[in-house]
Structure 1
Amino acid sequence: MATAHDRAVLNQILNPLLPNSDGLDEVKHEEVVIEHEGFARSVELEREGVRLAESGKSADAIAVFSKAIESCPVNPSAYNNRAQAYRLNEQIEEALADLNEALKLGNEKGKAACQAFVQRGSIYRLQGNDDKAREDFQAAAELGSSFAKMQLVTLNPYAAMCNKMLSDVFSNMKNGKTS
């Protein structure tokens, strides 16, 4: 009879992108503490910028995120958000510059770094640079991003094929088929 841990391990093999309650997919965020007089104002401006970006006003959002960065130039989240607005505005080089700055400011740790790695990996993927995309998705996956894990699987056709074969084997076993 299979134990709960055995079932969790099998679930992780068959569904590597889904989190489980066993802690095998634990989020690993070492948050960066920002102590800057303009941090609270920067966060307020970020919220305003997000609302503008969500309403399709990416150029206005970029201006607000720039103000957020002026208020607190050490806030990696503001750079992440401005990078997203740049992407929406098809300003890819500017987005990459902001993502690199976000990673530098956050020492490649924490939630902001995880988001920056995912965003940058997505840009690289769209540019057809799968090697750089894989590196960034791997870094984000190590920080706990399930989206990055999914992207790593799609970038690795052998892993996808293996998962499909295992799934078929277990499905056949479950349905009483032996060949």
Structure 2
Amino acid sequence: MATANDRAVLQTIFNPSTPFGDIPRLDEEEDAQEEVEIFGTEVLEQVRDLELQGISAAESGDVSRALERFSEAICLLPERASGYNNRAQALRLQGDVAGALQDLDTAIRLSQGRGCAARQSLVQRGLIHRLQGHEEEARWDFERAARLGSAFARRQLVLLNPYAALCNQMLCEMLGRLCNPGNIQSE
């Protein structure tokens, strides 16, 4: 059986755009069992199938079709957080950041801040806040996502820390000097 680190490495190889350490389906078994108890097997399978179709459409560049599939999934189970998280990604790809933030807020509320959908939604919302220059909101989301197990969120928190950034910069400069001693300029 593969360890969590093995799965993280494989995830990075096969899906290089996924943050390292954030492994989809790692904690899904627990979430999946809870969802079956809440929503029932039949409609949940339909919704999951629609979401997979949406993900496939988004990956092939058909964002409009992806949005349709995610919206269909949401219509079938409007109280399930995952559909909103997925649709938020498609909305963001389409340039509708306000719509994406609204769906992420809904996903976080529906998930009650727990589980895979909450973690992914918090990371995604944190990234949007960071891109918009809202560092405190980003920090808050990354802290919550890190508490839910997101290694990517933990790394983002380090990057948001100005002292850590300065230390990283100095460390990179020192390593550069060690690796390329011929490039050191005399002062």
Please say whether Structure 1 and Structure 2 have the same fold, judged by a TM-score greater than 0.5.
Answer: yes
How many residues get paired? 147
2:136 aligned with 1:136: no
Other structure's SS at 1:74 match: coil
How high is the sequence identity, in percent, across the aligned residues? Answer: 46
Structure 1 or 2: more helix by fraction: 2
CA–CA distance in 2 between the matches of 1:148 and 1:121?
8
2:135 aligned with 1:95: no
TM-score (norm 1): 0.73
Q: 1:158: how far off?
A: 0.8
Q: 1:118: how far off?
A: 0.4
- Is the 1:66–1:82 Cα contact (8 Å) retained in structure 2? yes
Q: 1:133: how far off?
A: 0.5
- Is the 1:153–1:160 Cα contact (8 Å) retained in structure 2? yes
Query: Which of the numbers 59, 67, 72 marks the counterpart of 1:67?
Result: 72
Deviations 1:112-161 (A, max 9, x none): 10000000001111111111011001111111111111111111021234
Higher relative contact order (CA 8 A, sep 6+): 1
- Is the 1:31–1:109 Cα contact (8 Å) retained in structure 2? no
Q: 1:166: how far off?
A: 8.3
Query: Which of the numbers 126, 143, 146 marks the counterpart of 1:121?
Result: 126
Other structure's SS at 1:139 match: helix
Q: 1:31: how far off?
A: 3.7
- Is the 1:28–1:142 Cα contact (8 Å) retained in structure 2? no
- The amino acid across from 1:140 in the alignment is A
The farther-off stretch of 72-81 and 155-164 is 155-164
Q: 1:60: how far off?
A: 1.2
- Is the 1:45–1:65 Cα contact (8 Å) retained in structure 2? yes
Other structure's SS at 1:64 match: helix
Within 5 A, what are the aligned runs for 1:1-179? 31=31, 33-34=34-35, 35-37=38-40, 38-162=43-167
Other structure's SS at 2:136 match: helix
Two-structure CA RMSD over aligned residues (Å): 2.6
Q: 1:108: how far off?
A: 0.3
- The amino acid across from 2:39 in the alignment is H
- Is the 1:121–1:136 Cα contact (8 Å) retained in structure 2? yes
CA–CA distance in 1 between the matches of 2:112 and 2:83?
15
Deviations 1:46-94 (A, max 9, x none): 0000000001111110111000111111221111100000000001111
The farther-off stretch of 155-164 and 38-47 is 155-164
Deviations 1:23-61 (A, max 9, x none): xxxx99974822224222111100000000001111110
TM-score (norm 2): 0.70
Runs of 4+ that moved beyond 3 A: 27-32, 160-168
Could you tell me which runs of 5 or more consecutive residues in structure 1 were left unpaired when the two chains were aligned: 1-17, 20-26, 173-179
